[in-house]
Amino acid sequence: MEQPPTSSGFEAAESYYFTENPPPKNLKSNMVLAREFINRHADSDRRVVLVTSGGTTVPLEEQTVRYIDNFSAGTRGATSAEYFLENGYAVIFLHRQFSLLPYSRHYSHNTRSFLDYMKEENGRVVVEEQHQEEMVRVLGQYNAAKNENKLLILSFVTITEYLWMLREAAMLMRPLGPNAMFYLAAAVSDFFVPKDRMVEHKIQSSEEFAQTHMNGKGEVQSKTPAARTEGKSLIIDLEPVPKFLKQLVDGWAPDGMIVSFKLETDPAILVKKAKHALNKYAHHLVIGNLLLTRKWEVVFVSKMDGEQWIRVPSRRRTRSATGIESLIGKAASQKDSVEEDGPSD
Q: Enumerate binding residues for ligand 9Z3 (CB under 6 A).
A: 72-76, 184-185, 187-188, 245, 260-263, 289, 294
Query: Smallest gap, in angstroms, from Cβ of residue 28 to ligand 9Z3?
Result: 25
Q: Are 251 and 277 in contact (CB under 8 A)?
A: no
- 289 vs 207, 272, 286, 334, CA distance in Å? 44, 12, 10, 20
* Pairing, β 90-96 against β 151-156: parallel
Minimum CB distance to ligand 9Z3 smaller for 41 or for 167: 167
Minimum CB distance to ligand 9Z3 smaller for 170 or for 185: 185
Query: Smallest gap, in angstroms, from Cβ of residue 234 to ligand 9Z3?
Result: 25
Minimum CB distance to ligand 9Z3 smaller for 105 or for 150: 105
Query: Smallest gap, in angstroms, from Cβ of residue 260 to ligand 9Z3?
Result: 4
End-to-end CA distance of the chain: 26
Q: What is the dihedral of CA 108, 113, 118, 124, to 10 degrees?
A: 100
Query: Smallest gap, in angstroms, from Cβ of residue 288 to ligand 9Z3?
Result: 8
Query: Smallest gap, in angstroms, from Cβ of residue 25 to ligand 9Z3?
Result: 25
Q: Using CA atoms, how far apart are residues 196 and 190, in angstroms rounded to an integer? A: 18
Q: Using CA atoms, how far apart are residues 308 and 297, in angstroms rounded to an integer? A: 11
Q: Which among 315, 336, 337, 311 is positioned nearest to 326, based on CA atoms?
A: 311
- 315 vs 133, 312, 318, CA distance in Å? 24, 8, 8
Minimum CB distance to ligand 9Z3 smaller for 225 or for 256: 256
Cross-strand partners of 259: 183, 285
Query: Smallest gap, in angstroms, from Cβ of residue 159 to ligand 9Z3?
Result: 10
Q: Using CA atoms, how far apart are residues 129 and 147, in angstroms rounded to an integer? A: 26
Minimum CB distance to ligand 9Z3 smaller for 48 or for 278: 278
Query: Smallest gap, in angstroms, from Cβ of residue 244 to ligand 9Z3?
Result: 8
Q: Using CA atoms, how far apart are residues 48 and 176, in angstroms rounded to an integer? A: 8
Q: Are 66 and 203 in contact (CB under 8 A)?
A: yes
Minimum CB distance to ligand 9Z3 smaller for 176 or for 274: 274
Cross-strand partners of 311: 297
Q: Using CA atoms, how far apart are residues 82 and 103, in angstroms rounded to an integer? A: 7
Minimum CB distance to ligand 9Z3 smaller for 147 or for 265: 265
Q: Are 299 and 310 in contact (CB under 8 A)?
A: yes
Query: Smallest gap, in angstroms, from Cβ of residue 70 to ligand 9Z3?
Result: 8
Minimum CB distance to ligand 9Z3 smaller for 68 or for 185: 185
Q: How far is CA 35 from the centre of its chain?
A: 19
